[in-house]
Chain A
């Protein structure tokens, strides 16, 4: 099996003053290149925490994460967590988190430029992917000029553009109306298929969860396959 992500015995707790809350108890997961998996679960189950750990926005208390043959711990030890994020992860948040001073196209260009891609090439690539998500006409609009659905599609384009090893999405349709949800799911599915993306999506949305090839359920910090 062509493993791209291997999660072993991840644990995470938050300390809130005197109280320690165990949020992630013991999670194991294997993803192969091109997998499209979803995680469902009640609010407070620890889904966002788990995704943040995979995206190296939070560090686990224990356990190992290996992505494309590289260990998160190694990055962390060398003080190069940002390299882990840059090299392996594309993140889509519930809120689009676009940078307000930059146009749709520029927002997509930023992770490309960050990887040393030249301006012109980055522009071309950004335009290409924006047309894939149906926003060619919107490329020069600022986030404030875009609808919620459009913004979220720009966020997808931004996450996918640098061709990360894995795309993490945390309730990406959470703020969208049903029409935009549909478009979003369509776009994500198309991209995933056409580019053979590895996608891990956390969602309440049955349609989106069903689009995934494999479905997990999280409860009280444990993960189980459905």
Chain B
């Protein structure tokens, strides 16, 4: 043991007990850069995915149950709600009635097409004239302290739609729908009603924020004139991972007339895009690791080449193949280990400061650019925006550091560093002293 430590310490650090020799630095830096970039890339990818999932999942039920012949009325929805709750127990956190239907919105002389969503709010116990907003309701609501909406003819409007039509809290809007129906059909008498805007919501999903108007379920039923019926039953799961299981259960419980649809089926394109993103991400991860490994193989080979004579001497003194193998594997492994630890730490640091980093880069580029244009060459500097806020529908850079992913990756990186070092170390162990030590010459 002392033997190994003795040799490894010196070969890793060189004379005078530096921490790293130049070759060890090469291994270290390769792994360090690889790992820190890896962490940043993963965190950004992960953040984007999470943001997208969250913005949809926050707003949408996990499963929607409709009648099989398209969106029609469900009269006995309260019975079905009880049945589902009773059968699925803790698997579901909430089952509620929902109405979803296209409509026209009129504000003064503007008319636009919107999607109405009638959702069940819970009644405010302290103030019977109000509903409370559900817990999973998007956090960024305007006014920011909005906890509930009044009963009656009030609505919540998507923030982008509000901007588009120049709407404000307290404004009146008119909603036009086909009466007695949920869908527009020729020859149906239109219903039209006025509503007061009690607030705006921002789900983070542009599709929704620019189109959806939320009504309480009874208000929506009043607008469509359908009585106490709903169009859909909306199921929220306790754990999203139970989705498949719950879907199977629902198929068993529900009669043929009903068809449940999961959020994954609903957003098939998005989910497959996310899946592809994951695959691409895996490939990137793989490339990073390969690059770092090549660094380790090269630098370990360098160390071994420069220590060839030492290896011959050690073997002549009685060192075994295995001892030599261990010494040189450990050199690569340790630089990989230290590189991984510092790389991951630095990557996490960068990820957390990414917005600041991008901002700083923008600032530097713009300062240099405008300086150049003003003082060096007469030109007009167009400001660089690395993350155009209007392209990415995020109010902040979505970074999410996934420890459960980083942990196995770090372990894998360290393990592979050892394996990479093993390749040249293996050859080093096989070196024969006779090939190196020529006692007859020199």
The answer to whether A binds B is yes
Residues of A within 8 A of B (CB): 48-49, 51-52, 55, 57-58, 80, 82-83, 85-87, 89, 91, 93-95, 97-102, 106, 109-111, 113-114, 116-119, 122, 142, 158, 170-171, 175
Of B157-165, B191-199, B314-322, the one with at least 4 CB within 8 A of chain A: B314-322
Please encode chain B, from 410 to 442, with 1 for each CB lying within 8 Å of some chain A CB and 0 for all others.
Answer: 000000000000000000000001100101101
User: Could you name 25 residue pairs across A and B whose Cβ atoms are closer than 8 Å?
Assistant: A48-B439, A48-B440, A49-B440, A51-B439, A57-B434, A82-B318, A85-B315, A85-B316, A87-B318, A89-B318, A94-B439, A98-B313, A101-B14, A101-B15, A101-B310, A110-B317, A111-B318, A114-B314, A114-B317, A114-B323, A116-B3, A117-B2, A119-B2, A122-B2, A142-B15
Interchain nearest-CB distance for B328 vs A (Å): 14
Q: Assuming the A-B contacts A57-B437, A119-B2, are A102 and B10 also in contact, with contact meaning beta carbons closer than 8 angstroms in the complex?
A: yes
CB-based contact A110/B314 at 8 Å: yes
Neighbouring A residues of B434 by C-beta, 8 Å: 52, 57-58
CB-based contact A55/B310 at 8 Å: no
Q: Assuming the A-B contacts A52-B439, A97-B313, A101-B310, are A83 and B2 also in contact, with contact meaning beta carbons closer than 8 angstroms in the complex?
A: no
Q: Contacting B442 at CB < 8 Å: which of A95, A100, A106, A158?
A: A95
State the total of A-B contacts with C-beta under 8 angstroms: 87
B256 located at the interface, meaning its Cβ lies under 8 Å from any Cβ of chain A in the complex: no
Among A52, A82, A99: residue with most chain B CB under 10 A: A82
B6 located at the interface, meaning its Cβ lies under 8 Å from any Cβ of chain A in the complex: yes
Neighbouring A residues of B318 by C-beta, 8 Å: 82-83, 85-87, 89, 111, 114
State A140–B352 Cα separation when bound (angstroms): 48
Neighbouring B residues of A106 by C-beta, 8 Å: 6, 10
Neighbouring A residues of B7 by C-beta, 8 Å: 110
Neighbouring A residues of B440 by C-beta, 8 Å: 48-49, 94, 170
CB-based contact B317/A111 at 8 Å: yes
State A101–B310 Cα separation when bound (angstroms): 9
Interchain nearest-CB distance for B295 vs A (Å): 22
Please classify the interface of chain B as helix (H, G, I), strand (E, B), loop, or mixed, using the class held by over half of its residues: helix
Interchain nearest-CB distance for B5 vs A (Å): 8
Neighbouring B residues of A100 by C-beta, 8 Å: 310
CB-based contact A113/B310 at 8 Å: no
Interchain nearest-CB distance for B304 vs A (Å): 14
State A98–B314 Cα separation when bound (angstroms): 10
Please encode chain B, from 291 to 313, with 1 for each CB lying within 8 Å of some chain A CB and 0 for all others.
Answer: 00000000000000000011011
Give the residue name and chain of the B residue nearest to A171 (CB).
Answer: B439
Tell me the count of chain B residues lying within 8 A, CB to CB, of chain A. 27
B182 located at the interface, meaning its Cβ lies under 8 Å from any Cβ of chain A in the complex: no
Give the residue name and chain of the B residue nearest to A144 (CB).
Answer: B15
Among B3, B313, B317: residue with most chain A CB under 10 A: B317
Neighbouring B residues of A93 by C-beta, 8 Å: 437, 439
Neighbouring A residues of B45 by C-beta, 8 Å: none
B201 located at the interface, meaning its Cβ lies under 8 Å from any Cβ of chain A in the complex: no
Please encode chain B, from 250 to 285, with 1 for each CB lying within 8 Å of some chain A CB and 0 for all others.
Answer: 000000000000000000000000000000000000
Neighbouring A residues of B14 by C-beta, 8 Å: 101
